A and B are shown apart, each in its own frame.
Chain A
Amino acid sequence: EVQLVESGGGLVQPGGSLRLSCAASGFTFSSYEMNWVRQAPGKGLEWVSYISSSGSTIYYADSVKGRFTISRDNAKNSLYLQMNSLRAEDTAVYYCASIPAAAGTYFDYWGQGTLVTVSS
């Protein structure tokens, strides 16, 4: 069974930092492209960042570029998101989501999400 389990969310002050993790199991993690997608309270889905299966290609949404860093450890079947200089507008549930191998452009599996609250 495919599982993606996020952790690391919590309450942080504006300007602070947080590191999210996503533990993957039940599939060949090293073959999948991975993403972070967030959802502010009561709002829609917003893509945050992408990393290729090898980690060699990375993209960010303009809203987080220069503040967030995505990375992965294929040996540990884990995905990460380092979030710095956090703002109130970064408050959201953060999901990790996989893109299937063989040039898929959709998210086939999602984690349950971890809530990040940026507030003083």
Chain B
Amino acid sequence: SYVLTQPPSVSVAPGQTARITCGGNNIGSKSVHWYQQKPGQAPVLVVYDDSDRPSGIPERFSGSNSGNTATLTISRVEAGDEADYYCQVWDSSSDYPIFGGGTKLTVL
């Protein structure tokens, strides 16, 4: 089955830019979605269809997808962005969704 690979952790100082990657075979041909999950809370969709933002999500959150890597970029990182982030695609071969293993974003 299709596998999505994320780095376990990413650290960034406040005000800097965080980039969280999601690797997969030819992932650029798929639509990638990103979720933010804070401790004890349900996941929240922050980017869908590679680069679209749901209403209410700050413009600081953006996404890109090409080749074998999709990237969630968080600009001007704030302490409140500290969370786990998961990428997700729909695997057309098995016809069900796949999640990456998650990346813990630490704001230094």
Contacts and interface: CB of A to CB of B under 8 A. Distances in A.
B10 to A, nearest CB: 15
Nearest to B33: A106
Contacts of B35: 45, 107
Task: Tell me what chain B mostly uses at the interface: helix, strand, loop, or mixed.
Answer: strand
Given A95-B42, A105-B89, A110-B43, A45 B54 contact: no
A46 B99 contact: yes
Interface in A84-103: 95, 97
Indicate the member of A50, A106, A111 with the most B CB atoms within 10 Å: A106
Interface in B85-103: 86, 88-90, 95-102
A112 interface: yes
A1 interface: no
Interface of A: 35, 44-47, 50, 59, 61, 95, 97, 104-108, 110-113
27 contacts: A44-B99, A44-B100, A45-B35, A45-B37, A45-B86, A45-B99, A45-B102, A50-B96, A50-B97, A59-B96, A61-B96, A97-B43, A104-B48, A105-B31, A105-B33, A106-B31, A106-B33, A106-B45, A106-B48, A106-B49, A106-B88, A107-B33, A107-B45, A110-B42, A110-B44, A111-B42, A112-B41
